[in-house]
Structure 1
């Protein structure tokens, strides 16, 4: 007898609504409950595809409190899908704790393939893509200097997520620790109409964004140490 899946991790588009698989749409139509990082954001996606399923918030601020209630529902037979605002759940988004708890309770988990921001940014950067490290968001304060020193010695291509209002600070610090001539690429608004992939040295990128308005989600890809 085939084991029934209790939790589906369903990637959602990072910008362009066409970037969702037929399987993802089928799963979202079949599950009993959809857990969403932001129900308003996911609600727009579900409405676009005419998917009418119960939607419940599950984000970084409430996942500890929700965890056991969700597990209890799954043990009673409720089939759940987890989505983030954009991309693949658990990649710099909530999801890891729920997956870990499902495994501990011997509940079957399936992760669907699909959209995630760092892959197109890496491939588009022109930097080596055969070996890379994904660092997610750097610490804002505590541990940031230590992480910078570690990245200075990293030989693989480095991938970071960053927000628009912190990008200049990050580019400046990376230039200080890794060297101004280290090559990099800033990708923003991926898959959207105003997508931009700006390539250059860390110094050049810092100079460019010092005088150019920056909006949207950002992936920063940096050359590894030679």
Structure 2
């Protein structure tokens, strides 16, 4: 094979690779749009009247995840399965955002942490690497940490809305979350940096709870009524 033929062959490989990346980018853009729409919907729970609409908003978000699962199914067809990690960086960010949204919806529904398996099911992917497109542990944990920041904001807005018991429940949940992360030996630099932000979320919520305590607003409604 001549040099010219060799480079022509290489150009064919590069062109095919670029076509795959372009197809992936188009689907990822659709996923990002779907994630923005779900986030916009869930942001309304921070409004004073939004707390009463949490069940309705969560049900709507669940419906909107159907679009996410459709795009995910499409994304799986855009690249050879054995080359998953070669193209992973294209969708890593949006996958972490979707993991955040899935865990946030789960918390709003039952005030508990959604498992990686449950989050993956909501998104429409697997958890086992060998089964193809999957939600990795690090991407799941990144989503959980984003959710923690969102809950610290929710704790503050709960007080504004007159819901004084919710910050206490959020505080207990975040402290449990922090204890869980302390058990992990995080080697991933971006994930470790994001985890460093959790201590500020804990502190922010503790300040809210402390403020409620010194104002005498941290009691349960029934106890306050008896008093």
TM-score range, shorter chain: under 0.3
Instruction: Tell me which protein shows more strand as a share of its residues.
Output: 1
TM-score when normalising by structure 2 = 0.27
Relative contact order (alpha carbons < 8 A, sep ≥ 6): 1 or 2 greater?
1
Instruction: Tell me which protein shows more helix as a share of its residues.
Output: 2
TM-score when normalising by structure 1 = 0.27
Structure number with larger C-alpha Rg: 2
